[in-house]
Amino acid sequence: MAKIKSAYFCQSCGYESAKWLGKCPSCNQWNTFVEEIIQKPSAAVPEWKGPGGTSRVAKPSAIHEIAYTEESRLATPDHEFNRVLGGGIVPGSLVLIGGEPGIGKSTLMLQLALNLKGKKILYVSGEESEQQIKMRAERLSQAEPAKDGTGVFILTETSTQNIFKQIEILEPDLIIIDSIQTLHSAHIDSTPGSVSQVRECAAELMRFAKETATPVFLIGHITKDGSIAGPKILEHMVDTVLQFEGDRHHVYRILRAVKNRFGSASELGIYEMQGVGLREVSNPSEILLSQRDEELTGITISAMLEGVRPMLIETQALVSASAYGTPQRSATGFDTKRMNMLLAVLEKRCGFRLSAKDVFLNIAGGLRVEDPAVDLGIIVAIISSHEDISVSSKICFAAEVGLSGEIRAVNRIEHRIAEAQKLGFEQIYISKYNQKGIDPTRYTIEIKTSSKIEDVFASLFG
């Protein structure tokens, strides 16, 4: 009888060791190593048939002899989901979706399955019963059941061997696994959710997806610091990693692409959580801009980009005298270190005494902004609050600020200007170095260019 092999795995980061260690060399955590059996010789590996009904034999091919055809993506009724994936679902792709507990991952995937007409979809759940999934489906959809054998099929199972048996019988067009941490394989003799089990189950599903050209969606748990639970290799194995973000106490959810082999990794989709499910938000600028009856100080509008999508967001700043010895610096939705850099530019280059002031910054709508084009809007909001002078709500900003106080150009400025014009803004401030190639006669919005932030302050505040 062959000897059973075992190894020690760190339950925090997935580091593998031949012996037990008190401290993990990778993540420096203590007492996280657990012994797991990594091979059972009695387990058999299933053989899958390709789309033509025959097993594919791997052999090397010259790259110039490989016939390339454009992938026919499966377009879903959810346009936000299509955008994040890069245009639709690619056959044979393996997609991992992670997010906070209760954020709506299962709701998003079940809603997607119910809205895909003419397809046979297998929804595998290891966390809920059939009755619980049926209750959610009744809330999400009132559609008539399919008569041609298509539709959504529910399977409550955690063994991958049993799941693959049902897949052979049903032959679905798409598979959803909820969740990968609940599955266990007979190849590995350890508990579900362990490092080796997650890795083995994902490997089996990846092999099935690639050999049969069937797309597979995996719902994954996350750790307390927000990263995908399980070994890091799980994110390397899959084709696409999506992050479902948002605050459970707010109605808006953000689906963000972290990794995508078939499209841009910087796209995002916005949803609104309602009683009957998730609603697509086709124009996010409308929800990110608050409707105000009067002009308020410390509020400006900035034109940003998420992937190829232009959006206008509201930046709010509050500057007040410090009541304690050390002034406070707080930023929500923006990098605090970059905010401190902008404050240093204002103090050094423009003479504003902000070192003894408390500065609070907030990006409205719960977004996390990394686009440097919001720099100009942020410093104008800070000075507006500092001087107690309001900025017109019909003015927006799109420029980066350098350390010497210069206003730097940003990319895709035409898309930002067009978005501001579409939403009814009257003026947009951009860098002087961005005006090359821009025809002002094409736009009804007034384009104001500057090279230094002092010129912008003189124009706005006098």
The residue ranges of every structural domain in the chain are: 1-40, 74-282, 287-461
Distances (CA, A) of 174 to 76, 218, 339: 12, 11, 45
Average pLDDT over residues 318-347: 91
Of the pLDDT bands very low, low, confident and very high (cuts 50, 70, 90), residue 42 is: very low
Distances (CA, A) of 221 to 28, 77, 97, 180: 22, 26, 9, 8
**Residue set of the binding site for ATP:** 99-106
Tokens, residue 129: 């019963």
pLDDT at 51: 55
Residues whose CB is less than 8 angstroms from the CB of residue 335 and which lie 6 or more positions away in sequence, other chains included: 370
Residues whose CB is less than 8 angstroms from the CB of residue 427 and which lie 6 or more positions away in sequence, other chains included: 392, 394, 395, 396, 445, 446, 447, 448
Q: Check if the beta carbon of residue 424 is closer than 8 Å to that of residue 392.
A: no
Exposure b/e, 136-145, CB count within 10 A at least 16 = b: bbeebbeeee
CA 304, CA 415: separation in Å to the nearest integer? 10
Specify the 3-state DSSP secondary structure of 29. Answer: coil
**Least confident interval from 65-74, 88-97, 374-383, 396-405:** 65-74
The CATH T-level fold of domain 74-282 is: Rossmann fold (3.40.50)
Enter the DSSP assignment of 331.
E
Q: Which amino acid is at 243?
A: Q
Among left, alpha and beta (phi > 0; psi -120 to 50; other), residue 92 is left
pLDDT at 396: 94
pLDDT at 1: 47
Q: Check if the beta carbon of residue 186 is closer than 8 Å to that of residue 179.
A: no
Average pLDDT over residues 56-66: 76
Helical (H) or strand (E) element with 133: helix 130-140
Q: Are strands 329-332 and 309-321 parallel, antiparallel or unpaired?
A: unpaired
What CATH number belongs to 287-461?
3.30.230.10
Task: Work out the angle at residue 336's Cα, subtended by the Cα atoms of residues 331 and 337, and round it to the nearest 5 degrees.
Answer: 165
Average pLDDT, the chain: 86
Q: Check if the beta carbon of residue 216 is closer than 8 Å to that of residue 204.
A: no
pLDDT at 4: 65
Tokens, residue 199: 């890795």
**Residue set of the binding site:** 99-106
DSSP for 347-401, please give it.
HHHH----TTEEEEEEETTS-----GGGHHHHHHHHHHHHHT----TTEEEE-EE
Q: Check if the beta carbon of residue 95 is closer than 8 Å to that of residue 218.
A: yes
Average pLDDT over residues 423-434: 93
Of the pLDDT bands very low, low, confident and very high (cuts 50, 70, 90), residue 299 is: very high
Q: For the chain, give the number of residues.
A: 462
Partners of residue 244 on adjacent β-strands: 99, 255
Residues whose CB is less than 8 angstroms from the CB of residue 391 and which lie 6 or more positions away in sequence, other chains included: 295, 297, 299, 300, 380, 381, 384, 460
Of the pLDDT bands very low, low, confident and very high (cuts 50, 70, 90), residue 56 is: low
pLDDT at 452: 93
Q: Are strands 216-220 and 240-246 parallel, antiparallel or unpaired?
A: unpaired
Q: Check if the beta carbon of residue 400 is closer than 8 Å to that of residue 304.
A: no
Q: How far is CA 104 from the centre of its chain?
A: 13
Task: Work out the angle at residue 212's Cα, subtended by the Cα atoms of residues 211 and 217, and round it to the nearest 5 degrees.
Answer: 100
Average pLDDT over residues 441-448: 91
- Does 130 have pLDDT greater than 50? yes
**Least confident interval from 43-52, 101-110, 254-263, 382-391:** 43-52
Residues whose CB is less than 8 angstroms from the CB of residue 108 and which lie 6 or more positions away in sequence, other chains included: 81, 97, 244, 255, 271, 278
pLDDT at 193: 83
Average pLDDT over residues 145-152: 76
Q: What percent of the chain has pLDDT above 70?
A: 92
Higher pLDDT, 69 or 110: 110
